[in-house]
Structure 1
C-alpha cells in the first residue's frame, strides 16, 4: 500500500479540533478518532460528566486546563471543552493480536513508555513498518500526540501500522504474556545483550523515554531486560535509533530462520 499524502495544516488548526460540549459528545458517539480532550478545570454539569465518562470508556485522555489555554486555541465559544482529532485510528490490543495470529504471523510488537517527542515517534514508526512490526502500543497519557506532525514525521507509516492505545501499560504487558508474547525491555543495564535474545519467538519490545527509561514496574514484569552493546563511554542512544537497532536485529533473526 502506497503512503498517502496528508495535509500539512498545523495540528491545532480548526479542521483538527472539535469545539463545544455537544459537538464533542456527538463526536464521541459517532466514533470519531480523538487524541485528547481539554476541559476547563472548573467546568461542571451533565454534559461535562458525559464527556468524562465516555472518554474514560474509550481510553481517551482528559486534561483539565485554565480558560486561557482554551482561548488560545479557538475564538469560538468553546463552553469549556475542546477535543483534538487524532490522525490515526486506535485499535483494541487483543483484537490486533488475534488478527496477527489469525493471519499466520509471529507477533512482533513495540510498546512506547514515556516517549513524547513526535519526531522520535515518527521515526520509530518508520522503522517498525520496515521491519515487519505489526503494532505499536501506547498509553493514553504520557506519550506524544499522534497528530499531523507525527504522521508527517513517520512518512505515513503511522497510518499503515496498527496503533493500540491502552489505559494501563502494565495491564497490556499482562495481556500479551497471557497470549504467549514475551516482553523485552530496553535498558542501559540489561542482563542480556540484544543479540542474545531469541527474537524469532512472539515478542514485544518496550522502549522508554530518554530521560527516565522504562518504568520500574514494567521492567519488573518483563520476561527479559536487554542492552544494546556500545563502544566508548557515551551515555545512551536516541530512543528512535535504539528502536531501529532492536527491530532490525529481530528482522535479521527471523530472516535467517526462514533462510535456514
Structure 2
C-alpha cells in the first residue's frame, strides 16, 4: 500500500528526519531565516537529502496547509543498503544483474525502467541520492507497482556503486554511444551491472573512465538516440537472451 508521500511544516520535517523517515526531497522557501529554519537546513545537508529553494507560490501549490516555508516528499518505499544487497545476491547463487541509473530525471522514464527491470530479473536498481527522479506517485503508477517488488538503493555518488560492484567481481557495462562496440559485442552472461545515463547528458564522463566495458545500440534511422527507458529495455533483454542461451 502506498503511504503518505508529503509532509509540511518545519518542525514536522525536523521530526521526520530525526525519526529516520526516508525523504526524497525537501522544498524550502527562498529568503527565510530563523533558528528552526537553520536547524532544518543543517539536518537536510547532514543527511544528504535532496534540497530545492523555491518561491512561496511553489509551496502553496504543493500543499493547502500552513507549510511554514517547508514541504517534504516522503518516499513510499524503504531503500536497501547496497553492500548488503550485493552480498545477498552473490550468496544466493544467482548470476547478478544490477542496473545503475546516473541521475535519470524523468519520473515516467524511471517508472518504466523499474517495470522492465522487474520483468527481466534485475536484482537491484541503484540511484544517486541527489539529482535524480524521486520515487513518487507517478513513478509507482508508471512502474505498474514493480517499484514494490525490486530492491532500490541510494548512494552518494554512482561512482561509489561502480567501485563497489567491481570490488565484488561484477563487471560494469556503460550504455553509451561513445564506443564502437554494440550491445551484441559485449557479454552479459557473467555477473554484471548496466549503467544508463540521464536523458539530456548521458553518463557522466568521469564514470565512463572507470567502467569495464561500453556498448551502444545500433541506430539505423536518422534520429540519433532512443528514449532512455526504451534503450534500457533493449539492453536488459539482450542480457536475458544471452543468459537463456548460455
Q: Shared topology, TM-score over 0.5? A: yes
Match of 2:145 among 156, 163, 169: 156
Deviation at 1:230, TM superposition (A): 2.8
Map Cα deviations across residues 101-146 of structure 1 (whole Å, 9 max, x no partner). 1222222111112322222111111110111101111112222221
Mapped contact 1:140–1:167 kept (Cα < 8 A)? yes
Change in Cα spacing, 1:119 to 1:43, as seen in structure 2 (3 Å) is same
The answer to which of 48-57 and 110-119 deviates more is 48-57
Deviation at 1:65, TM superposition (A): 1.9
The 2-side partners of 1:94 and 1:18 are apart by 30
Mapped contact 1:59–1:165 kept (Cα < 8 A)? no
Mapped contact 1:109–1:204 kept (Cα < 8 A)? yes
Deviation at 1:159, TM superposition (A): 1.1
Q: Which runs of 5 or more structure 2 residues have no equivalent in the other structure?
A: none
**Paired residue for 1:18?**
7
Map Cα deviations across residues 55-112 of structure 1 (whole Å, 9 max, x no partner). 3454421222222222222232222221111122212211211121122222211111
Match of 1:235 among 224, 236, 246: 224
> In structure 2, the residue corresponding to 1:192 is in which secondary structure?
coil
**Paired residue for 1:166?**
155
Kindly report which structure 2 residues correspond to 1:68-107, keeping only aligned pairs within 5 A, or say none: 68-107=57-96
**Paired residue for 1:11?**
none
Change in Cα spacing, 1:41 to 1:251, as seen in structure 2 (3 Å) is same
Q: How many residues align?
A: 246
The answer to which of 19-28 and 42-51 deviates more is 42-51
Change in Cα spacing, 1:59 to 1:252, as seen in structure 2 (3 Å) is farther
> In structure 1, the residue corresponding to 2:174 is in which secondary structure?
strand
Mapped contact 1:88–1:147 kept (Cα < 8 A)? no
Q: Which runs of 5 or more structure 1 residues have no equivalent in the other structure?
A: 8-14
The 2-side partners of 1:55 and 1:161 are apart by 27
Change in Cα spacing, 1:53 to 1:90, as seen in structure 2 (3 Å) is farther
- Provide TM-score, normalisation by structure 2: 0.91
